[in-house]
Amino acid sequence: MLDEEIDSKARAAAVRWARWRLGPLGFADLITRVDASMLRYGRLVTRYAVRTGTWAEEAYAGGTNTARSSRATPPVSLDTLNLWSASPEALAEQSSHVAACGSCQGSGQVTCPTCSGTLRAACSGCGGSGRRMSRARKSYRMVNCSECRGKGTKKCIRCTKGMVGCRTCRSSGALRRWLKVSTVERTQVRTWPEAKALSAHKGLLQDSKRALQWPGASTLASVEHPGPLPLSALGEQALSAGFLAARSSLEPELEPLRGRILSQTLDVFEAPSATVGFEFAGRPGFIHLLGHDLRPTDARDTSAFHRRVGALMGVAMAGFFALPFLFSAFTGRHAFYAEPEQGLLPALAVMGLWPGTWWWTATALRRRRAGGAKSPARWHDRIGISLTAVCALVFAGCFLFIRPSVPELARLTAAGQLREAELHADLLEASGESSPEYIEARNAFVLARIQGMDNRDAVKFIRHYAGSGKGTELLEAACVKLREAWARSAMERGEEEPVEAELAAMSSERAPAFIRDGLRTKLEDLRVAKGKAELEKGEFTNAIQVLTRIKAPMFASERPEPLLARAYLLQEHACPGRNVQCRALALRSAAAVDPGETARTALASFRAAELTRLNRATHGSNVLGLAMRELRVADADSAALLSVFEGDAELTAARSQLLGRKEELLRGRFALGEPVEVAHALLGPNGLEMHRSDVFRVVDAPADTLTYLFMDEHMTHGLYVTTPKHGLQGLSPAALQQTVKRFTGLELSAKDLVHSGTGVAHVPVRIGRHAALLGWYDGTLVEAQIGRVEP
């Protein structure tokens, strides 16, 4: 009877345990066996202490230091010493001895850490480099350190002959050492036969009196003994519970000379227990129960529950991501399907797929048995698969049978529900519907929809439905009217760009020609009127911009060419006197559009005058500087004129004479000692860059050189050559020779480029008629001054 009672209570406890862990419905049918018994078990509480010993030391300060001559040995060995043989104070007194200091080997002195015994320490003023920044006169250059005189080191002041006192032993050379013993008390609680099977017994592993008062078990024996528990103290209950066989695993592991057991307590209990086996999700499992109320313990195999939870979580996560995808697959085809009337039913079907699939998976796992067999089906096992199948069929039917229709489009248009009608019309248009009924309903919808819309929105809306070209004549006519109204309103506001855009759109849409020509005529007349108004105000630039925008002069009521020629002539009069390019462009443009002879006559007179001026510059002054200035101005003007009158033979010949005259004047001349105009001509327009009012920097100087050209009263009189890294990098003799050759046509002699000596030296040399000064530093060429160079 007892076993039957435990069996029924164990089954009920297992069902409750499964319910609280979200187990399957009908878990009682999954139970395969129940093994009931009275379990005897116990615990051993051991209180023990552990001693540890370490050597402590301090500087020896008593008497004569005998450790310098002989090393003292400790009176005891820590490895073989029994730390429980005496009290910690007695052990410290017995082990006290004097030993040589390990840091200084008993000498009391160690090598100086600052200078490492060399008697020379790094200079603190320069950090050991020997160089420091000088701030005299804000020069900010590196000089020798004044503290170490550039050596980087100075005499160490912290040591005596490279040695300092030892800090460990305070220069005594000896240490007093003794054994320091510490004691730690601990408590260990261990149970048998298995800790997991006893986890329901509260307080069993906590060294608590609650373990003796747990209502689920009865206490058979409780023995406490100071020191290790002897065999004579064990009772019959402890022996029958298997304590002797398990004792070796219950005792703490102590070192013989370090640990000691202080006391041990043995408690033996007895309680009903049961092991409930079950088969679930194709796997067997069990759960162990303990106590009168058969509480679940940690001794169990619940891998089937974990497998079920993992499968259901996987289905739930898959549904979480699949539901939006399925619903968007329906509604994403068109905005028509996103409306509540069309999207509600598929949304409900998709929502039903999630719980149906989840229930179906849970049922399949519950019915599965080990070996592939299945348990009998219950009525609720059909809910999951039925819900899933119905929802899948409904969702598939939504794809097949929810469609827009032409009668619904006509009904919604007649009822004034234009927003709903637009969804039907848009989807029917996209599907290529072309029946006469649809065309009639669509045209009626579009004409009703554009009422009250903005002009631009209405045009865009019509073009969306007029693109098919099937029965769209009525829509295209409405679109032309909208474009014409928009263009006329833009012209009333004085805007031209919208009108041009509408004319281009009407041309591409093949609007009637008389409408396009009428708009073009009104637009060109508007531009002519604007141009005349600007000319009357004297704003010839604005007049030119307006009149040149006329694309079809034949449609204008007044010809725009005379007005445009007049504006160009006014522009020519407004050009600066020496800006020949501006005047030439204006006159050429006037002659191109003027139907009369006024502009052509003015252009011919201007060209003849400029040719005369260019020829006069060719045979100009005999003063070199003045002649070069005149030739430079004439050359620039001739290039500007040729950019306007391309291929003009007389202008080309005049410019060739100018270039020939320029080459003749520059033949055999160099940049140094000549007028500035000669230097500019030889080095090119971008060869010199203004550095100061009387100093130019040579832009295209040789690599790794920095060259300056000095001038005075429009004459170049000096050349200075160095490197960009002056003072850190020497000047290349080859680069200096190249620079001298370029500016004077001469070369330095080989002996001038050799200098032996130390320190700074400036050596005077001669380069033809030019005096030069070469700067040297310790045999390295640093700079060169040719001619008269100001400091």
The answer to whether position 290 is within a domain reads no
Q: What is the pLDDT of residue 72?
A: 59
What sections of 228-339 are H helices per DSSP? Answer: 236-240, 243-250, 303-331
The answer to whether position 164 is within a domain reads yes
The answer to whether position 508 is within a domain reads no
Residues 195 and 79 in one domain: no
Residues 660 and 603 in one domain: yes
Residue among 461, 526, 529 at smallest CA distance from 497: 526
**Structural domain boundaries, residue 201:** 187-269
Whether this prediction's pTM lies above 0.85 is answered by: no
Confidence of residue 172 (pLDDT cuts 50, 70, 90): confident
Residues 690 and 656 in one domain: no
Q: What is the tens place of the pLDDT at every residue in 767-784?
A: 988 889 899 988 889 999
Confidence of residue 135 (pLDDT cuts 50, 70, 90): low
Q: How far apart are CA 154 and CA 157, in angstroms?
A: 9
The answer to whether position 81 is within a domain reads yes
Residues 65 and 165 in one domain: yes
Residues 65 and 140 in one domain: yes
Residues 774 and 688 in one domain: yes
- As to burial, measured by CB atoms within 10 angstroms (0-12 exposed, 13-18 middle, 19+ buried), residue 617 is buried
Q: What is the pLDDT of residue 181?
A: 92
Residues 338 and 362 in one domain: yes
Residues 695 and 715 in one domain: yes
Residues 65 and 145 in one domain: yes
Under 8 Å CB-to-CB from 637, ≥6 apart: which residues?
A: 578, 580, 610, 613, 614
Residues 652 and 708 in one domain: no
Q: What is the tens place of the pLDDT at every residue in 698-754?
A: 988 888 899 999 988 888 889 999 998 887 888 988 999 998 998 888 888 888 888
Q: What is the tens place of the pLDDT at every residue in 604-615?
A: 888 888 888 888
Coil, strand, or helix at residue 484?
A: helix
Q: What is the tens place of the pLDDT at every residue in 359-389?
A: 888 888 877 776 666 777 777 778 888 999 9
Residues 191 and 260 in one domain: yes
pLDDT at 593 over 90: no
Q: What is the tens place of the pLDDT at every residue in 194-248?
A: 889 998 898 888 877 888 888 888 999 889 999 899 988 888 888 888 888 888 8
The answer to whether position 552 is within a domain reads no
Averaged pLDDT for residues 112-120: 85
**Mean pLDDT, rounded, of the chain:** 86
In degrees rounded to 5, what are phi and psi of residue 534? -65, -40
Number of domains in the chain: 5
Q: What is the pLDDT of residue 63?
A: 47
The answer to whether position 677 is within a domain reads no
Residues 151 and 196 in one domain: no
The answer to whether position 237 is within a domain reads yes
The answer to whether position 63 is within a domain reads yes
129 alpha carbon, distance to own chain's centre: 42
Q: What is the tens place of the pLDDT at every residue in 667-693?
A: 888 888 888 888 888 888 788 888 888
Q: What is the pLDDT of residue 204?
A: 87
Contacts by 665-668, CB closer than 8 A, 24 or more apart: 665/624, 665/627, 665/628, 665/631
Last residue of a domain, one of 667, 701, 728: 667
pLDDT at 117 over 60: yes
